[in-house]
């Protein structure tokens, strides 16, 4: 519906929306209103015969013939392509939502897997760092210290455990993760 057809004053209702010519009572019978936008068109502008106008102005419930002005007909021809674009966009939005849900699910599964893996970690604090400059000797020192501690407390063999220090070297005895 056009904006000009919505809020029309009573005086403008008597003017043709195309040529803006004021209608006279004799010409009123030849004027017709668009069934979509409610714009009034005079006999000179719509190009219909008086018989055609009478068909359009039947006020019965079973009336299936509608009169559309040129602007509304133009809009109606564009409607199928607009509806197709709307359907395409709706499908695309649904696919994006599904993809987003799958990504959120994958992230949650990954987080649960990581938590399960980290649940097996032990962080040991206050193990003095080796003063050696050789990295292999530092790792061997850390492994021996942790193995001594775990064997003494839990009597568990941790010879196959992976160990690494958290934090920067010499940062107040960085904790060990066996």
121 located within any domain: no
Q: Is the pLDDT of residue 12 over 50?
A: no
Interacting residues of 102 by C-beta distance below 8 A, sequence separation 6+ = none
CATH of the domain at 44: 3.30.40
6 located within any domain: no
Mind listing the pLDDT tens digit for each residue in 73-103? Answer: 888 899 899 999 999 999 999 999 999 999 9
> Lowest-pLDDT range, 3-12, 122-131, 139-148?
3-12
Label residue 174 by pLDDT band (50, 70, 90). low
Helix (H) or strand (E) holding 40: strand 40-41
Q: Is the pTM above the cut of 0.85?
A: no
| Domains identified in the chain, total number | 2
Q: Is the pLDDT of residue 13 over 50?
A: no
78 located within any domain: no
pLDDT at 28: 56
Q: Which residue from 65, 10, 81, 1 is spatially nearest to 37, judged by alpha carbons?
A: 1
26 located within any domain: yes
Average pLDDT, integer, range 120-127:
82
- Domain assignment of residue 45, given as a range: 15-70
| Total residues belonging to the chain | 178
Of the residues 52, 70, 88, the one at which a domain ends: 70
Of the residues 53, 70, 87, the one at which a domain ends: 70
Rounded CA separation 146/158 (Å): 8
Rounded CA separation 46/55 (Å): 14
32 located within any domain: yes
Q: Is the pLDDT of residue 55 over 50?
A: yes
Interacting residues of 161 by C-beta distance below 8 A, sequence separation 6+ = 143, 146, 178
Q: Is the pLDDT of residue 165 over 50?
A: yes
């Amino acid at each position: 519906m056009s904006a000009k057809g919505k809020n029309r004053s009573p005086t403008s209702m008597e003017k043709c929306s195309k040529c803006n010519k004021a209608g006279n009572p004799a010409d009123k019978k030849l004027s017709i209103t668009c069934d979509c936008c409610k714009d009034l068109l005079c006999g000179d502008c719509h190009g219909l015969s008086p018989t055609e106008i009478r068909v359009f102005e039947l006020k019965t419930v079973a009336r299936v013939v509608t009169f559309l002005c040129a602007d509304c007909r133009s809009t109606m021809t564009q409607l199928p392509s607009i509806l197709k674009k709307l359907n395409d966009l709706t499908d695309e939005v649904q696919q994006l939502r599904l993809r987003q849900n799958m990504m959120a699910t994958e992230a949650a599964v990954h987080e649960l897997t990581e938590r399960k893996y980290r649940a097996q970690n032990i962080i040991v604090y206050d193990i003095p760092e080796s003063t050696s400059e050789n990295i292999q000797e530092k790792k061997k020192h850390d492994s021996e210290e942790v193995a001594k501690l775990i064997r003494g407390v839990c009597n568990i063999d941790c010879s196959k455990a992976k160990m690494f220090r958290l934090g920067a070297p010499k940062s107040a005895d960085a904790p060990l993760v066996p």
